[in-house]
Amino acid sequence: KQEVTQIPAALSVPEGENLVLNCSFTDSAIYNLQWFRQDPGKGLTSLLLIQSSQREQTSGRLNASLDKSSGRSTLYIAASQPGDSATYLCAVRIPDYKLSFGAGTTVTVRA
């Protein structure tokens, strides 16, 4: 059974600092990995999708890397802003097409 772990569970940084969020998964047989953002009490917004054949994806200040062999992905957010405060979820798509989610990292960016 695929297990997805996100460490740390919570993170607080001053504005302007770069954010590094980690995701690990136990089974490297994945189709893709997706990073989501969730604001309190709200739904999920997709940030980046990395196919299993890719090593990284970039969108604006966001960069996500994927090392399938070691079962790891990292989301980098450059020059953090208070508006980046949210919970960030990592999910892997496993061979039966389901998404397996981590519990998330809650980020607070202090002004």
Q: Where are the beta strands (DSSP E) in 1-111?
A: 4-7, 10-14, 19-25, 32-38, 44-51, 56-59, 62-67, 72-77, 86-93, 99-101, 105-110
Residues near other proteins (CB under 8 A) are: 4, 31, 34, 36, 41-46, 49, 89, 91, 93, 97-104
Number of C-beta neighbours around residue 49 at 10 A: 16
CB closer to other proteins, 12 vs 46: 46
Q: What is the nearest approach in angstroms of other proteins to the Cβ of residue 37?
A: 11
Q: What is the nearest approach in angstroms of other proteins to the Cβ of residue 100?
A: 8
CB closer to other proteins, 76 vs 101: 101
- Residue 105's Cβ-count burial label (10 Å; 0-12, 13-18, 19+) is buried
Q: What is the nearest approach in angstroms of other proteins to the Cβ of residue 21?
A: 15
CB closer to other proteins, 82 vs 95: 95
Please say whether the beta carbons of 64 and 78 come within 8 A.
Answer: no
Q: What is the nearest approach in angstroms of other proteins to the Cβ of residue 14?
A: 25
CB closer to other proteins, 47 vs 80: 47
